[in-house]
Amino acid sequence: MGFVGYNVNRYTPRQMMVVPAVILLLSLALLGFNMASFGMPVRPGIDFSGGTAVTLFTPDSAEQIRASFSAYPLLSVGEGVNNGKYLKFGPMDDASLQALATDIGGRYPDAKIDQIGASFGETLQQQALIALIISFVGMTIVVFIAFRSFVPAGAVVLSAFADIAMTAAGMSLVGIELSLATVAGLLMLIGYSVDSDILLTMRVLKRQGKLEEKLAGAFRTGIIMTTTTIVAVAAMWVVALVGQITVVWEIATVLLIGLFVDMMNTWLTNAGIIKWYVQKRGGK
């Protein structure tokens, strides 16, 4: 628990917010750059761009696999422990697809195959975007109803937004593609990120006592909360990595990045704003 050494009361609101603000700008720049190159803020995986994913266990090397499937648009061969391989193919027509399925069935009868057509992928893309927007707007409404006060509610919404933007940028840095699973992870973050923000805001605004004490108390509780979630997700991450469960591993990675980013956004961005807000109101 390395963050425990951090003293939430040591810095001024301005100092607290500088770091996250810079990171947020960099993240948005990266997402914008991706948008220009792929048409999406994070490189889309086969769920959205169409294609075929194959999970199999074989001692064959990546080169051997590449050679075996040279007739098909093989994009990448991911290798895990336990001889796990994760093959990605680009979009192809029905006949090649059928041939590929037969081919894989013949060579590796225990392979898991998932295929998404290009137009289906496009529908999924639109739907995922709509889901993300509705979730975010819904969260904003709930937060505003709960606090009925502009600055505190705005701070919570801003840090949730920063969480998502920074996590998406983080995904892009570690090379995780946008898929149905990772969109689910991002949506989950909307829920997670407000957890500690709400605790912080409620404690500071609705409790009696000194601002410093309330901040410190909220920090103590909040950090343990995020830590428990992080260890649960980290355990899932390790098992999924070793066990080659791509879907779970992707969700876990997104959640892990998001939770660390959320620690920063809660205890720097949101805490900074709320501190500034209370001090400005002549807070005690």
Partner 1 sequence: MSMEKIKTIVSHWQVALMLILVVLAAIAIAPRFEDGKFTTNLQYGLDLQEGTWLQMEFKAVVAGFETDKDPGDFAKAIQNQTDAEVYVLDKNKIEIRKYIPREDLETVFNTAGGRLTSYEQGVSKQTAEDVKRILENKLNALGTKDARVNPLVGLSGVSHYIRVELAGVSMAQAKEIVGRQGKFEIRIHTTGNETENVLYGDSITTVGVPSHDSPGSPVWGVSFTLNQDGAEKLQKAAIRTGAVSKPDAHYLDMLLDGKVVYSAPLSPDLAAKLAQEPIRQLYASTGTGDAGLRDAKNLEIHLRAGALPVDVVVAGSGFVPAELSDYFKLMCVVAFIAAAIAVGIVIFLRYREPAIVLPMMATNLTEIVILLGIATFIQQLDLASIAALIAVLGTGVDQLVIITDEILHEGKVPSPTLYTKRLSRALGIILVSAATVIIAMVPLALMDLSSLRGFAIITMIGVIIGVAVTRPAYGEIIKEILSK
Q: Taking CB under 8 A as the criterion, which residues in 183-242 touch partner 1? A: 183-184, 187-188, 190-192, 194-195, 198-199, 202, 206, 217, 220-221, 224-236, 238-240
CB 42 within 8 A of CB 171: yes
d(CA 133, CA 127) in angstroms, rounded, equals 10
d(CA 69, CA 254) in angstroms, rounded, equals 31
Contacts to partner 1 from residues 89-108, by CB under 8 A: 94, 101-102, 105
Q: Which of 23, 77, 128, 274 binds partner 1 (CB under 8 A)?
A: 128
Q: Which contacts (CB < 8 Å, 24+ apart) does range 141-148 have?
A: 143/194, 143/198, 146/198, 147/201, 147/205
Q: Where does this chain touch partner 1 (CB under 8 A) — which range of 58-66, 67-75, 139-147, 261-269?
A: 139-147
d(CA 216, CA 28) in angstroms, rounded, equals 31
Closest contact distance (angstroms) between CB of 33 and partner 1 is: 27
Q: Of the two residues 30 and 52, which places its CB atom closer to partner 1 in the complex?
A: 52
Q: Which of 5, 109, 175, 282 binds partner 1 (CB under 8 A)?
A: 109
Closest contact distance (angstroms) between CB of 247 and partner 1 is: 5
3-state secondary structure at position 51: strand
Closest contact distance (angstroms) between CB of 219 and partner 1 is: 11
Q: Which of 127, 173, 212, 284 binds partner 1 (CB under 8 A)?
A: 127
d(CA 89, CA 16) in angstroms, rounded, equals 46
Contacts to partner 1 from residues 48-77, by CB under 8 A: 55, 57
Q: Of the two residues 30 and 44, which places its CB atom closer to partner 1 in the complex?
A: 44
Helix 246-264 to helix 150-174 angle (10° resolution) is 130
